[in-house]
Structure 1
Amino acid sequence: MEPSADVVVLTALPVEFRAVLHLLRDQSTLVHPQGTSLVKGTLPGLGGTVAVARIGAGNLTSAAVAERVRQWLRPQALLFVGVAGGLKPEARLSDVVVSTKVYHLHPGKETPEGFHARPVSGAVSHRLEQAAGIALCSESWRKWVPDEVRATWQEDGPHVHFQPVIAGEVVLNSPVTPLRDQITFHYGDALAIEMESAGVARVVDLSEDLRILTLRGISDHADASKGEADASGSQYRASAHAAAAAAALACELLPETAGPGGSSRAVRSAGAIGEASAPEAEWVRALMAFADMGRGDFRHSLLTDMGRILGLPHAFMAAESTVARDHVREIVRRMNTYRDAPAARTALYAALENARPDDGALEGLSRLLP
């Protein structure tokens, strides 16, 4: 069976990698033929799988690895999780920033009159950003923060900001440099600076089947106090907060089995769902019988309607593919592992019935329903 993961998390530093690993259960290792290693596991209370890699710093590396895992594991979401330097006073140490835009820092033109930036705003997934807004709108996401980190809170704990970030090939350790002035002038809405997200965003620009989002903990103020902050353990705390925010986002993307506190819900296992459902291939054939199923916009509308029927704050999540049959197969897989699979199947039928009535195809699909 080909390797896969529902959510892939990329990190740059060992401290960031360990923060995500701390949350994963049932861990195993995946190794790409070219050597990239990921640890795959599950989050307590959630179905589906999460795979995390430590890839080192820099946008070039992040772009190469993001494209590699996109083709290899076909995740429904790719998250970059780690630390960043805060650029504004409201970015307190250990706060979390969720990217609404990703600026590539360095593109521009150097002239006798000075440097003229040519801002490149990288793509982030609107769907993931909206799901993060739901997941992080209350303090419940903090339940994923380890107790030893929570014990260090001296005020009201970390805040979450939804603002742009900048990614460049530089560590910024001073507030009084030409580069800092350039950032303030050209990227005044950015809250934090880091070194990897622009590469991942470029992969999305060139792809049609990957959703990405960056979640960063503020570990320093991108000034001369960075060394002191790092020595105090700020990277460890900021990494733990970013990993906790990513886990809370995963709760919006993956089917539930039990909450992080151990309270279970009435959810059937994926195996039990498979036993109660027709074989996957039959579902795929029945769905491909709809004449419009080969169109990407039709499938996207279908997922949006399923989410609405199920009462979700976002579309029903299924990893995209440019190949219609592969996308349909992923929709079926996600439907069969959803926390209430019969409801997902009913929602799929209702969405198709509303979208484009096709009596023949609907009749074939109805035979697969309980």
Structure 2
Amino acid sequence: MIKILFFFILTAFYCNVSVSQVPLNSSNKSVVKRNYNDITGILGAFPDEINLLLTQVKQKKERSIQNILFIEGILNNRRVVIAQTGIGKVNAAITTTLMVEHFSPQQIIFTGIAGGINPELSPGDLVIGSKVAHHDYGTVTPDSMIVRPTRNPSTMLENPVYFKCDSMLILLSEEAGKSIKLEQITINHDARIPKVIKGIIVTGDVFVSSEKTTEHLRTRMNAEATEMEGAAVAQVCYQQKQPFIVIRSISDNANTKASHDIRSFYQVAANNSASLVMAIVKSIAK
């Protein structure tokens, strides 16, 4: 009996040793396989960023998960699930994770407003994200901010600094942007039709209202726009092998007038971003 007991203890010991010696970056921890459902996930931080979408959704069905409301239905002949993330990267990551886990959408689209970094952008203009990056993750030095890559928690390997948006979604967005009808913007009594461009969007847990910061983000990161959720969504999607894209409409120019401008142009910017998303969804449904 003692010999048998000793055998089981010894066996358990060697099994534990063998498991503990598996490196964190081994393939069994780095590969994520996803079985996607025939559904598109749509996220926005503020109520007004998703309200226009919700008015067009048919056969609505609400589902609360961890006190976050997910609304399923049909939008432009496509099954969708829509949720409001709330402001900031942590809220965005939580909601994205729940959406991926419980709905397994084929793709995730983030829609909303942003501060313009490119000086040629004006309120109402749209930016189709080609890449998304954290601008506030890294090392703060006496005279600069050195942006560094985040890490995948399951492998401890570095993520890319710039998360690439899905190439097919970029193409669909660009095609939709050529024919979409957007709300005009009136600035200083001058009405103009917003333009649609593609470029880098950067994310931080700060509302940028500084010419110096916008110049830094433009020079160091080649950013077109800045906001507070996109890179968190992108990081979750990247780590979970989930196709995604971030769509943003400019509400201000991230300068000292940003707080004033966002109040003036927030609604039009939110609607223009949602309008492009609806056109993208329509293309996906074809």
Q: Give the TM-score of the pair, scaled to structure 2.
A: 0.76
Alignment of 1:161-240 (within 5 A): 161-176=197-212, 179-187=213-221, 189-208=222-241, 210-232=242-264, 234-240=265-271
Superimposed CA distance per residue, residues 219-271 of structure 1 (whole angstroms, 9 cap, x where no aligned partner): 00111212222332x1100010000000111111114xxxxxxxxxxxxxxxx
Q: CA deviation at 1:78?
A: 0.6
- Could you tell me which residue of structure 2 aligns to residue 106 of structure 1? 136
Identity across matched positions, percent:
25
Go from structure 1 to structure 2 and tell me whether the alpha carbon gap of 1:115 and 1:161 turns closer, same or farther (over 3 Å shift): same
Map 1:1-370 → 2, pairs under 5 A:
6-32=39-65, 34-43=66-75, 46-112=76-142, 114-118=144-148, 120-136=161-177, 138-139=178-179, 141-142=180-181, 149=183, 155-176=191-212, 179-187=213-221, 189-208=222-241, 210-232=242-264, 234-255=265-286
Partner of 1:334: none
SS at match of 1:191: strand
**Which contiguous aligned blocks of 4+ residues in structure 1 show a shift greater than 4 angstroms?**
149-154
The answer (yes or no) to whether the contact 1:117–1:186 under 8 Å persists in 2 is no
CA shift for structure 1 position 80: 0.6
In the TM superposition, residue 158 of structure 1 has moved relative to its aligned partner by 1.4
Distance in 1, matches of 2:185 and 2:141, equals 51
CA contact (8 A) 2:89 2:228 kept: yes
Letter in 1 for 2:211: P
C-alpha RMSD of the superposition? 2.2
- Does the 8 Å CA contact 2:214/2:254 hold for their aligned counterparts? no
Cα drift, residue 114 of structure 1:
4.1
Q: 1:114 and 1:86 mapped to 2: Cα distance?
A: 21
Residues 286-327 of structure 1, C-alpha deviations (whole Å, 9 max, x = no match): xxxxxxxxxxxxxxxxxxxxxxxxxxxxxxxxxxxxxxxxxx
1 or 2 for the larger relative contact order (CA 8 Å, sep ≥6)?
2
Matched residues in 2 for 1:202 and 1:108: separation?
15
Check 1:182–1:151 CA distance in 2 against 1; reply closer, same or farther (3 A cut).
closer
- Structure 1 CA distance, aligned partners of 2:84 and 2:216? 30
Other-structure match for 1:288: none
TM-score (norm 1): 0.60
Q: Which amino acid aligns with 2:217?
A: I
In the TM superposition, what is the alpha-carbon distance from 1:150 to its structure 2 partner? 5.3
> Equivalent residue of 2:123, what SS?
coil
- CA pair 15-118 structure 1, distance change in 2 beyond 3 A: same
Q: Deviations over 1:107-139 (max 9, x none)?
A: 222335643333611231112112212222x22
Which protein is richer in strand relative to its size?
A: 2
CA gap 1:21/1:63 in 2 versus in 1, 3 angstroms: same
Q: Write the letter of the residue equivalent to 1:247.
A: M
Task: Measure the CA separation in 2 of the matches of 1:87 and 1:151.
Answer: 18
